[in-house]
């Protein structure tokens, strides 16, 4: 998480205080949800827009990109009737 723009050790520590340990923990969430949770955990408003919102947006975008990389949307290749996968270039020669 430290590699994400606007995310330093203090941001990571505050996210850990609400149970966030990995980027995957925040995938699909909104910056406002995270800001609210951190502020509630702290007992006062410690994160305010726009900087905290931008930092959370950057983290969520990185989490969503990481999730997308792990689970590509491309469908698996279908096997030919003979059980051997055929590539596009092989099909062009038919």
List the domain range (segments joined by +) for residue 56.
9-70
Say whether 79 sits in a helix, a strand or coil: strand
Condensed to tens digits (0 to 9), the pLDDT of residues 25-35 reads 998 899 999 99
**CA 24, 29, 64, 31 torsion-angle sign:** negative
Its pTM surpasses 0.85 = no
Number of domains in the chain: 1
- Structural domain contains residue 37: yes
Q: Could you give the angle at the alpha carbon of 90 between the alpha carbons of 88 and 91, nearest 5°?
A: 65
Listing DSSP states for 9-38 in one string gives: HHHHHHHHTTT--SGGGTTT--HHHHHHHH
- Structural domain contains residue 80: no
Q: Is 50 a residue whose pLDDT tops 60?
A: yes
Residues in the chain: 94
- Structural domain contains residue 38: yes
Q: Is 42 a residue whose pLDDT tops 90?
A: yes
Which pLDDT band holds residue 68 (cuts at 50, 70, 90)? confident
Rounded mean pLDDT of the chain? Answer: 82
- Structural domain contains residue 89: no
Arithmetic mean of pLDDT, 42-66: 94
């Amino acid at each position: 998480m430290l590699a994400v723009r606007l995310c330093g050790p203090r941001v990571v520590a505050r996210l850990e205080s609400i149970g966030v340990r990995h980027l995957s923990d925040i995938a699909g969430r909104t910056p406002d949800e995270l800001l609210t949770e951190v502020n509630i955990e702290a007992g006062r408003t410690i994160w305010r827009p726009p900087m905290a919102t931008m930092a959370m947006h950057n983290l969520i975008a990185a989490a969503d990109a990481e999730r997308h990389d792990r689970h590509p949307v491309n469908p698996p290749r279908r096997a030919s009737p003979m059980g051997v996968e055929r590539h596009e270039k092989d099909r062009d020669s038919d």
